[in-house]
């Protein structure tokens, strides 16, 4: 049985939780008000992040091994009750998080060995007006080889 989603999702969550953003947020280390390893119904404290599986694909490597690519979205969310401060904080958080993820992309053991490589990184900005939230959705593609035997 494959444990790709469990392994990669936990590794991305651990990476995000290990990034100390307290210098940006003013909160005690690691500086996140809420963390989620699932899509939350509602975020109550900001800033927060949520690690959410998005999609997967696979290609054959040889007769018994597939190259699995799984993509996770990491939502970094801030309240825009005080929009100018929240926007500045969110942009600084995104800069720091993207830098740390790029460092893992260049590592010999990305995600602490949870993947053999990190592929495409990308992101999109958005807002949930109903909840008063501004967010950045970081897309992280992880590559994992899965034996079929």
Query: pLDDT per residue over 50-93, tens digit each?
Result: 999 999 887 776 776 777 889 999 999 998 876 778 889 999 99
Q: Please report the beta strands in the chain, taking only residues with DSSP state E, as ranges in sequence order.
A: 34-36, 48-60, 65-79, 117-128, 133-147
- pLDDT of 118 strictly over 70: yes
Model confidence, pTM: 0.89
Read off the pLDDT of residues 128-140 as tens digits, 9 standing for 90 and up: 888 889 999 999 9
Query: With contact defined as beta carbons under 8 Å apart, do 72 and 8 qualify?
Result: yes
pLDDT at 2: 65
pLDDT band with cut points at 50, 70 and 90 for residue 1: very low
Instruction: Count CA atoms closer than 13 A to 99's CA, side-chain side.
Output: 9
Element (H, E) at 115: none
């Amino acid at each position: 049985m494959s444990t790709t989603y469990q392994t990669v999702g936990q590794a991305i969550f651990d990476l995000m939780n290990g990034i100390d953003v307290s210098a940006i947020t003013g909160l005690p280390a690691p500086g996140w008000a809420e963390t989620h390893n699932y899509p939350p119904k509602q975020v109550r404290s900001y800033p927060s992040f949520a690690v959410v599986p998005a999609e997967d694909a696979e290609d054959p490597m040889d007769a018994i091994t597939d190259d699995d690519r799984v993509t996770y979205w990491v939502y970094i969310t801030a309240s825009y009750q005080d929009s100018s401060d929240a926007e500045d904080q969110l942009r600084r958080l995104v800069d720091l998080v993207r830098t740390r993820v790029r460092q893992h992309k260049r590592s010999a053991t990305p995600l602490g060995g949870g993947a053999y490589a990190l592929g495409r990184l990308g992101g999109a900005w958005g807002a949930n007006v109903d909840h008063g939230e501004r967010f950045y959705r970081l897309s992280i593609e992880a590559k994992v080889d899965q034996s079929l035997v």
